[in-house]
Amino acid sequence: MRRALTLVLATACGLTVANLYYSQPLLDLIAHAFGVSQGAAAMIVTFTQAGYALGLLFLLPLGDLIENRKLSTRLLAGTAVSLLLAAVCPAYPIFLIISVLVGLTSVVAQILVPLAAHLAPPEQRGAFVGKVMSGLILGILLARTVSSFVADLWGWRAIYFVSAGLMVVLALVLRRMLPQRAPDHTAGYGSLLRSLVTLVRDEPVLRRRALCQATMFAAFSAFWTAIAYELIGEHGFGQAQIAIFALVGAGGAAAAPLGGKLADRGYGALVMGGALLLGTLTLVLAAVGHRSVVLLALAGVLLDFAVQIHQVSSQQEIYALRADARARINTVFMTTVFTGGAISSALTGALHDRWGWTGACVLGAAFPLIGLVIWALGRFSATPAAVEPERVPAQ
């Protein structure tokens, strides 16, 4: 992979996935603009993530059927239109529907990550995927900072105009830079979707990794959905201060290349177990240390680090299962992950309305504990080949 192409893939992943997170620090502003409660405003995150999960389920498998460059650029055009509609939307119920469309069309990042795996040498796949994932992770972590700064300058709607323009530019760049890749699958879309069930049934490693990452992302969603309310209510933060706080999570991007390298060396399973434990401990820290902005920031860094290192280690493992079905493997993995995130953000809004920040943190801490149980059961019951598939060459 040329360095320029690696940079393009990483940037494209970051810019597209950021669309899912722009709203998180703006929920208080959006609630006031539409005259709804904080719990209702939190549903914006849920609807966006639910749309993304639908896109992962029904659009991402097309990466094994349709030429990847054509698929990516067409989806980006749909994302640009959805973002423009969000920017001018006059009513909250309509905004929720448009949020689903934004999430649905933003799956381009998950088309490009398996493409990076295809282009990488097998012995360096984890490292290459980690580099591309670092761009995606920076998009996730910096989206909140960017949207807060833009909202502070021009209002909360401005970020949707800005991102729509970026999607158009990105479509043009990808059309020029991406190599053409015609997938091997030719049996049709219906067969493609049916094969997802087969993958879930036949690949226990995929099931476990997807469920564990879903619990990690659920903890991530609980923390970042509720944190703006805590910073505003407990610490009197404005949008510019929230933007600066959100920057602390960017340190978690360092976990992506590190996770890939450790997985390439055979330490993936241990890394994942440690990340799950760290995820629970950071939410406990956030709950007991909520009166200190420093402790909240530390919890944010550690949580993001744990989530990202777990994800990259998991992806290195599952992409080695079936070289001919990486888009569909990614479909199963990421659909499960974002379903967990959508459920968590919906529960977080309800629990925060009733029990405040403590309720959100207790919910967040419980999810990785469930994942740790799944990890332990798989670790001690699976065969050695299933535990460390990264040592097995892709078929």
State how far the Cα of 333 lies from the Cα of 287, in Å rounded to an integer: 29
State how far the Cα of 124 lies from the Cα of 135, in Å rounded to an integer: 18
Identify the CATH number of the domain in which residue 196 sits: 1.20.1250.20
**Owning domain of residue 57:** 3-391
State how far the Cα of 119 lies from the Cα of 125, in Å rounded to an integer: 9
Task: State the DSSP string of 66-132.
Answer: S-HHHHHHHHHHHHHHHHHHHHH--SHHHHHHHHHHHHHHTTHHHHHHHHHHHHS-GGGHHHHHHHH
Query: How many other CB atoms are found less than 10 A from the CB of residue 31?
Result: 19
Closest Cα to residue 379, out of 257, 259, 245, 277? Answer: 277
- Whether the model clears a pTM of 0.85, i.e. scores above it, the answer is no
**Per-residue pLDDT at 385:** 43
Tens digit of pLDDT at every position of the chain (395 positions):
567 888 899 999 999 999 999 998 898 899 999 998 877 888 998 899 889 989 988 988 887 788 888 899 999 999 999 999 999 999 999 999 999 999 999 999 888 887 777 777 776 666 677 778 778 878 887 898 899 999 999 999 999 999 999 999 999 999 988 887 776 666 778 888 888 899 999 999 999 999 999 999 999 999 988 998 899 888 989 878 888 887 776 666 666 566 667 766 777 788 899 999 999 999 999 999 999 999 999 999 889 889 988 988 888 888 788 877 777 888 899 889 988 988 998 899 889 888 999 999 999 999 999 999 999 998 876 544 444 444 333 33
- Give me the torsion for CA of 122, 331, 20, 88, rounded to 10°: 130
**Per-residue pLDDT at 383:** 47
Q: Torsions phi, psi of 335, nearest 5? A: -65, -45
- Calculate the CA 51 to chain-centre distance: 13
Closest Cα to residue 112, out of 69, 74, 81? Answer: 69
Decide if 85 contacts 97 (C-beta within 8 A). no
At position 387, the amino acid (one-letter code) is V
State how far the Cα of 191 lies from the Cα of 200, in Å rounded to an integer: 15
Q: How many domains, in total, are found in the chain?
A: 1
Q: Torsions phi, psi of 90, nearest 5? A: -95, -15
**Per-residue pLDDT at 255:** 61
